[in-house]
Amino acid sequence: MPLSPTEQPTTHAAGAVERLVRDDLDRKRFLKMLGAGGAASFGAFVIAACGGSSKSKSTSTRTAAAPTSGTGDVAILNYALTLEYLESNFYAKAVASRLFSGKDASMLETFGAQEHTHVEALKGAVQKMGATPAVDPGGKFPIESATQVAQLAYTVENLGAAAYLGQAAMIQSKEVLATALAIHSVEARHAATLATLVHKPITPDGAFAKPDDMSTVLAAVKPFLS
């Protein structure tokens, strides 16, 4: 007899991560596109994003807040773009405060320039998909002391890395996934470098990074929105 509506098997649209795990040929092409460095980190990224080994399907039950703009991959890109705007603006204000000097000031300038590059890359990706990029929300940040700013930078960079990881399993386009993976890696390296500055754990979550869903991240950055 036919299944009742509540007994019908459920299906979901496989994200790019899951499709790459399933398809060996597709995965090889993707890893070649990433290059050696990205390929080396992809295995751990898949495990953390999908919540299991390369043989398991994603069982994510994450719930996301209303996207910044658009739907699907466009919404994810604009969500990431909003976070990158905030990071870029934060570093600009941190540098302008002149609370840092020497190597520390140079490091913050470098990180800020890289966050600005992320902004431009994400805006271009959204436009390439025929959509409108999210608007720069500005940002209001407590810039009080070098120690306080460095600790906030450490927190923000870890949050950024967790945000990218939290969306990985839901990304449909392999090109968008490659962009997210490349930026995620840099955010995590920023966080690790800042950890040495503020004497915090370089890998706060241990061997595998923990993802954050969209609603959690947006709630965390809400105080910084202008």
Answer yes or no: is 1 within a domain: no
pLDDT of 4-13, one tens digit each? Answer: 444 444 444 5
Answer yes or no: is 16 within a domain: no
Residue 60 has a pLDDT of 35
CATH classification of the domain holding 120: 1.20.1260.10
Residue 224: how many other CB atoms lie within 10 Å: 18
pLDDT of 182-221, one tens digit each? Answer: 999 999 999 999 999 999 999 999 999 999 999 999 999 9
The 3 state secondary structure assigned to the chain is CCCCHHHCCCCCCCCHHHHHHHCHHHHHHHHHHHHHHHHHHHHHHHHHHHCCCCCCCCCCCCCCCCCCCCCHHHHHHHHHHHHHHHHHHHHHHHHHCCCCCHHHHHHHHHHHHHHHHHHHHHHHHHHHCCCCCCCCCCCCCCCCCHHHHHHHHHHHHHHHHHHHHHHHHHCCCHHHHHHHHHHHHHHHHHHHHHHHHHCCCCCCCCCCCCCCCHHHHHHHHHHHCC
pLDDT of 81-123, one tens digit each? Answer: 999 999 999 999 999 999 999 999 999 999 999 999 999 999 9
Answer yes or no: is 129 within a domain: yes
Which pair of tokens denotes residue 210?
């923990």
The domain of 147 spans 72-224
Answer yes or no: is 2 within a domain: no
Please report which confidence band the pLDDT of residue 225 belongs to, taking 50, 70 and 90 as the band edges.
Answer: confident
Answer yes or no: is 11 within a domain: no
Answer yes or no: is 141 within a domain: yes
pLDDT of 139-175, one tens digit each? Answer: 999 899 999 999 999 999 999 999 999 999 999 999 9
Answer yes or no: is 188 within a domain: yes
What is the domain count for the chain?
1
